[in-house]
Amino acid sequence: MSKKMTRRTFIKRLFGSVLGLIGLSGGTYYYAKHIEPSLLTMKEETIELSNIPDAFDQVKILQFSDTHIGFHYDIPQFDALINELNSKQPDLILFTGDLFDAPNQVPFEILEQAAAVLSRLDAPLGKYWIYGNHDHGGYGTEIIATYMQKGGFQLLKNEHVTLKKEQSTITLAGLDDAMLGKPNVNKALQGANPDLFTLLMCHEPDYIHQVNNAPVDIQLSGHSHGGQVQIPFFGYLVTPPLAKQYVEGWYSIGTHPIRLYVSRGIGTTRLPYRFMCKPEYTIHTLQSTTNN
């Protein structure tokens, strides 16, 4: 039996054992496998900081993450997701990694279909993405990047862009994947103005300890899936490496401090379970303190 299948079997047995231990029924198992993974939710968050320019007040940043197209999430579901995201009319769209679950098992026609679906997304300030650990597998990072580019997304791999609105600017930076890539925050922010409001995308949330002395205000991450299964009085059933400390929602790290937001993401991996952990995307609305 492969290592991957061994882990899947372990998670399945652990889930069943925990359900039995706390007295939850087989109906709960059905719900976790067949119902909750499709209960997509939108979270609305406000980012209020003194260095957000007036021109960026009420700018809507849409973050989505971890679609894991493949075994448990197909193109029709992805198509429906993109329709919903477009309906929110965001100003800026950010994808924080893991487009496919197993890229080496995805036919090229599915890659083409995914790119065509992504191309329908529209945002006046642009569409940007970063590598997740799954994006580094299979055909190789260049192939996944090619299809993301066909979908109109610009990759930020240890680099930044300056976003302009009227006469004001903010910084958007992105890191390479922390598990299988070579993230370098100093390279990503080289030449950036440290006084500007700075937003950093990094797939793995726990990597924030490597960047907490950098001039970064907000880090957006995914990877954790929110634990994917949360059991009352037990906690998160399984969290991946580099998502052990920070699993979902907001955190404040360091003396600067950097604020970290971790998305539960859209899809599932290993096994198609979600329990008390609905899939989500997030609208972050910027708020300038001078407009209060």
CA–CA dist 59, 169 (Å, integer) = 12
Cβ atoms within 10 Å of 263's Cβ, excluding its own:
25
pLDDT of residue 146: 92
pLDDT of residue 245: 96
For the chain, the straight-line distance linking the first and the last C-alpha, in angstroms and rounded, comes to 60
* Whole-structure pTM value: 0.91
Residue range 205-245, pLDDT digits in tens:
999 999 988 999 999 999 999 999 887 777 887 789 999 99
